[in-house]
Amino acid sequence: MLSDLVGALKAKDHQLMVLTSRLRYDRNEASLPKRELWQGVLVLRLWSTRFGRKTLLGRGFDYLSFYLSAILAVLVHGRRGHILVALTDPPMIGAVLHLFARIRGMRLVHWMQDIFPEVAQALLPGAKNALVFRIAKWFRNWTLKRSDAIVVLGERMAERVAAQGALSEKIHRISNWADEAALSPIASEANPLRQAWGLQGKTVVGYSGNLGRAHEFETIVQAILKTREVKNLKFLFIGDGAQLAPLKARLQTLDVSERVHFEGYQPRENLSASLSAADVHLVSLQPELEGLIVPSKLYGALAVGRPVIFIGDLDGEVARVLKQNQCGHSVAVGDSNALAQSIQSYLDNTRLQCEGESARRAFLQNYTYALATQRWNEILLALKERAR
């Protein structure tokens, strides 16, 4: 998302600098240059520890060390009139940098890909009322009220942020997106990856992206069991994450390996083919995380014209999109019977084609790279004008 945004803003003549980590998302041991000129934009990669994303403790040390490096970088490079756009990985980086950005006379935009500390409270057993999270939440809310703009990903997230006291006029809803020039539907019979992965002649149910702690898989596992007698049905998982190994182990014990195929993250140039390899996509989210996270995998599925089955809150952000655009179906967490029935309904090629066309249409109308980055440009230009 950030790379896409930087490319678009550079094309609109914004002067940009990126402060980021030296770690790769998927390989913490990878060595990335400390300084790089990328598409004419200076990228400074800051020091941090290198424990990676596999354990919460190691990730915590990576975050803390990055906070310290980021504070120093803002103090060194920040200037009056600059606009600091802070994402939310590491968690609450915008709140951490708030005072230091103000010291340098910078304006601050919170780009809330997720809402912390509420995400941590939902995922960590017994953490809901922990003092450290109550303090962090108060501090986060204090900085949100004093920020110049807050960008959220959907209606439910906007409702959450407004409930914390942020001024409604500062809240801007810009959904994440997919690149309409790079992603387009590929017919099953013309897809080279379906042949390479042994999926020809199958109805393929796909899950593409992070298999993380925020996502719910037991309902999917049970649906795989309930559809094991359905002929020519295959489940495709593409990606990685904290739940990949447990999911593989669980499916192995249930003796359904022949029904399931796993692939790792795909190169960007393969995304049209990899996303189109599935006939219908699965998206899941723990209900307690609704409004805190919006699964971005939704937009890639819509971009390649594939219907989506959502497992989560039936009034959640994804559920609303699917209902409004008639491009999928939602089932509650734990309702594996409903999920199995929904999956089998997509054995009907007429339904697949109809909802697939609706998915692509919804994407082009609402979730393209051009639409999202134009909205970003408008927000930043308005902040620049106010700074004069």
Q: What percent of the chain has pLDDT over 70?
A: 99
CA distance 218 to 223: 9
Which pLDDT does position 387 carry in this prediction? 64
Q: Each residue of 326-366: pLDDT tens digit?
A: 999 999 999 999 999 999 999 999 999 999 999 999 999 99
Domains in the chain, ordered, with CATH? 2-177+368-387 (3.40.50.2000), 188-366 (3.40.50.2000)
Residue of 152 and 132 predicted with greater confidence? 152
CB atoms within 10 A of CB 158: 21
Q: Each residue of 297-307: pLDDT tens digit?
A: 999 999 999 99
Alpha-carbon dihedral sign for residues 191, 195, 198, 203? positive
Q: Each residue of 244-263: pLDDT tens digit?
A: 999 999 999 998 988 999 99
Instruction: Please state the φ and ψ torsions of residue 323, each to the nearest 5 degrees.
Output: -70, -45
Query: CB-based contacts of 96: which residues, under 8 Å, 6+ apart?
Result: 67, 70, 71
